[in-house]
């Protein structure tokens, strides 16, 4: 399969801690209903999927997975306000006591994500929209996803 990674791969997950320094309780999104803390908790949720004991179902029809994969590996960004049935129409209740805790938790989840693949290089955890992904594909998803939400909040 052709590897079409492009500009999304230019977003380096190593910059996340530095970009988070600019995020405050007062930071408003350019679109969407999430607060800064909701956004971080959401990003954390997508990082821990890879080490989940229960495999998530793939909700994308099998015949559409090649097109989804092609999009994932492209430099095309996620659309703004894209519906996500896992989130619903309103942000969920916050899990952490404050934004600083959410920052700490998302950084820990990012470290755990990297550790998981260091220890399980052949793993192919399921992403509910993109199906089974290898390490490089998961990295591409996380780069694209972080870039989307960091753009949403004006961090990049």
End-to-end CA distance of the chain: 31
The CATH number of whichever domain residue 69 belongs to comes to 1.20.120
2 is a domain residue? no
24 is a domain residue? yes
123 is a domain residue? yes
Please check the confidence at residue 11 and state whether its pLDDT lies above 50.
yes
Rounded to whole angstroms, the Cα distance separating 2 from 101 reads 40
For the segment 59-88, the average pLDDT, to the nearest whole number, is 90
> How many separate domains does the chain show?
1
1 is a domain residue? no
| Domain region containing 57 | 7-152
For the segment 33-41, the average pLDDT, to the nearest whole number, is 96
20 is a domain residue? yes
Average pLDDT of the residues of the chain: 90
For the segment 49-78, the average pLDDT, to the nearest whole number, is 93
For the segment 124-147, the average pLDDT, to the nearest whole number, is 96
19 is a domain residue? yes
108 is a domain residue? yes
Residue 30 · residue 152 · CB < 8 Å: yes
pLDDT of residue 10: 59
Longest dimension (CA), the chain: 44
Please check the confidence at residue 5 and state whether its pLDDT lies above 70.
no
For the segment 37-51, the average pLDDT, to the nearest whole number, is 95
Q: Quick one: DSSP state of residue 73? A: T
Residue 152 · residue 36 · CB < 8 Å: no
**What pTM was computed for the model?**
0.90
pLDDT of residue 83: 74
Q: Quick one: DSSP state of residue 96? A: S
- Answer with the residue of higher pLDDT: 58 or 5: 58
54 is a domain residue? yes
């Amino acid at each position: 399969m052709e590897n079409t990674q492009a500009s999304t791969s230019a977003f380096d997950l190593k910059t996340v801690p530095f970009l988070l320094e600019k995020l405050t309780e007062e930071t408003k999104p350019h679109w969407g209903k999430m607060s800064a803390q909701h956004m971080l908790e959401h990003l954390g949720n997508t990082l821990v999927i890879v080490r989940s004991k229960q495999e998530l179902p793939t909700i994308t029809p099998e015949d559409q997975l090649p097109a989804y994969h092609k999009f994932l590996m492209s430099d095309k960004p996620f659309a703004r306000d894209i519906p996500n049935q896992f989130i619903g129409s309103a942000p969920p209740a916050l899990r952490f006591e404050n934004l600083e805790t959410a920052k700490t938790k998302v950084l820990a989840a990012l470290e755990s994500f990297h550790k998981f693949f260091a220890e399980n290089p052949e793993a192919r955890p399921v992403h509910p929209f993109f199906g089974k992904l290898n390490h490089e594909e998961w990295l591409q998803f996380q780069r694209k996803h972080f870039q989307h939400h960091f753009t949403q909040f004006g961090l990049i």
